[in-house]
Amino acid sequence: MKQREYGKSARHQLKAPIYNTLVKYIQENRLRLHMPGHAGGRGMPKVFQDMASYDFTELPELDNFHLPRSIIKRAAKLLAETAGAQKSFFLINGATSGIQAFFLSLRNMQGKVLLPRNAHQAFFSGLVLSGAEPVYIPAQTDEDTGVAWGVNRQDIAEALEKHADLEAVFLVSPNYYGTCLNVRSIARMTENHDAVPLIIDEAHGGHFVFHPQYPEPALQQGADAVVQGLHKTWPVFNQGACLHTGRLYKRDKQLGQAVGLVSSSSPSYPLLASMDYARAFLSENGEGLLEQALKSSQCYKEKINRLPGFKLVQEEWEKHEEITGTDPLKILIKMENLSLDGFQVGRILREEFKIEVELQSVNVILAMMSMFHESQEWQKLYEALEKISLRYLGARKRIRVPAPPMPKQVVNPRSAWLHTKTLVDLRNSRGCVAGELIAAYPPGIPCMVPGELINEEIIEYLLWLRANCLQVHKAGGESGGKIWVLDGAI
Ligand SMILES: Cc1ncc(COP(=O)(O)O)c(C=O)c1O
């Protein structure tokens, strides 16, 4: 099988310095007179104890996350080699902390950054922490499902033309639904634009590097740096993530310092070891597992698409010239001619078939498969959908999901965050400036960011979200139909 150069599994890639050192350390059975307080799992339920035995602090032989010199340094080097990166950094607070670190390592932290309007809320924490000024590129939204599939290159080109003083261009590829942008051609655009760094949120694409028929990783397409949420697609504990920088990235040092700023001083060794082990494991087994998963995906996507009442969405999106591919493991299914909506399908899958999907929404569900799901598990999903299709085929009043509006930013997000605020009734908030972040969950894409002008359109949209059962997460906490707005800006 053809293998990409960068994912190649050289013999030394099978080593896992952090994991192997911990195993050796445990075998020596030293008396633990150090943190954490469970001293190797005491006072914990039995199921936690195995993992707790790996839960060390930064002892002399276990290196230091904030100043890596031995095993963490070696493991990061192996990680970089796997990804074809110049340098890699482990993250212990999720991809979110990597995105924050990029913002905190900008040359001019308060300068302008280009952002897609459908960026994850982690970007907005980056804006608040850094004080950067966002320049938004509108998200392109599928009319039928209301899902944002990506951004247009033309919009990027126009924004680059208009803003000569950008500090960075941030984009998301693949998005939460697995859809990938043409990073190669965007990289050419940023390269020609004073080489402004192109930073890709590749939170959902960490596995691409291990198989040539999965979408091409962003770094190989010319991105300057990427963030990957390894816990999303690798066999890694939640919050395990990493950053990779490319050959031409000039701010590795500042990025490393910024990672330190947003990371705990008590890094989880089980988490670090799980990333280290997973990299070695996938170097050896990733291609085979992904090959099997790809075959299952091809087979079952076709079968699901033939079921009356269901239609795969990504296949339609691939007609957009902006989209260069889709992660075969993200199965986004639209209800079409089914008397149920996505919430109802999700509930039946959960309650009757004991299948829990990643997302259920008005007209869609998203099943997130992994390289570890076996064909009988794909079959289980298929059979459940087949039963639902037979039982509930029939017309339903179609609900058109409105595209999220793009409110005007009138106050910088950080200034808005720091401003004093008042809680007002959402219906009476027209003309006020938002003081909090509001996002529909999942996947956590904000529709209102601190500093944005509240108009009738956004009020209608937020009321629509509430009325249609979408979970609305507010940074200011639950406040019963009210919204925090900036004082004095009413
Ligand atoms: C596209 C995208 N970027 C970033 C994040 C943040 O990742 P994490 O949960 O690892 O902090 C997510 C989380 O779902 C995401 O979907």
Residues 385 and 420 in one domain: no
Q: How far is CA 286 from CA 80, 173, 289, in A?
A: 16, 21, 5
- Assess whether pLDDT exceeds 70 at residue 271: yes
Report the distance separating Cα 356 and Cα 47, nearest Å. 23
When comparing pLDDT for 130 and 468, which is higher?
A: 130
pLDDT in tens, 217-232: 999 999 999 999 999 9
100, two tokens = 């924050």
Residue range of the domain that includes 458: 413-486
| 204 CA to centre of ligand 1 in angstroms | 8
Residues 354 and 441 in one domain: no
The answer to whether 242 touches 82, Cβ cutoff 8 Å, is no
Mean pLDDT within 146-172: 95
Residues 378 and 444 in one domain: no
Is residue 94 included in any domain, yes or no?
no
Is residue 264 included in any domain, yes or no?
no
Pocket of ligand 1 (CB under 6 A): 94-96, 120, 122, 172, 176, 201, 203-204, 229, 241, 443
Residues 384 and 417 in one domain: no
pLDDT in tens, 70-114: 999 999 999 999 999 999 999 999 999 999 999 999 999 999 999
- pLDDT score for 319: 87
- pLDDT score for 312: 96
Three-state SS for 106? coil
Report the percentage of the chain scoring pLDDT > 70. Answer: 96
Number of domains in the chain: 2
Is residue 3 included in any domain, yes or no?
no
| 139 CA to centre of ligand 1 in angstroms | 17
Is residue 476 included in any domain, yes or no?
yes
- pLDDT score for 3: 47
| 274 CA to centre of ligand 1 in angstroms | 19
Mean pLDDT within 202-223: 97
Is residue 25 included in any domain, yes or no?
no
pLDDT in tens, 12-59: 888 999 999 999 999 999 999 999 999 999 999 999 999 999 999 999
| 95 CA to centre of ligand 1 in angstroms | 6
Residues 382 and 300 in one domain: yes
Residue closest via CA to ligand 1's atom 7 equals 95
Is residue 318 included in any domain, yes or no?
yes
Report the distance separating Cα 112 and Cα 247, nearest Å. 24
Ligand 1 mutation pick, 201, 233, 259, 473, max ligand atoms within 8 A of CB: 201
Closest by CA to 458, choosing from 486, 424, 426, 435, is 426
The answer to whether 88 touches 81, Cβ cutoff 8 Å, is no
Mean pLDDT within 283-300: 97
Residues 329 and 381 in one domain: yes
Report the percentage of the chain scoring pLDDT > 90. Answer: 82
pLDDT in tens, 121-152: 999 999 999 999 999 999 998 888 888 899 99
Q: What's the predicted TM-score (pTM) here? A: 0.95
CATH for 360:
3.90.1150.10
Mean pLDDT within 253-265: 97
The answer to whether 165 touches 176, Cβ cutoff 8 Å, is no
123-126, Cβ contacts within 8 angstroms, sequence gap of 24 or more: 123/99, 123/170, 123/201, 124/413, 124/437, 124/446, 124/449, 124/450, 125/96, 125/99, 125/100, 126/99, 126/100, 126/102
Is residue 75 included in any domain, yes or no?
no
CATH for 429:
3.90.105.10
Closest by CA to 181, choosing from 209, 231, 216, is 216
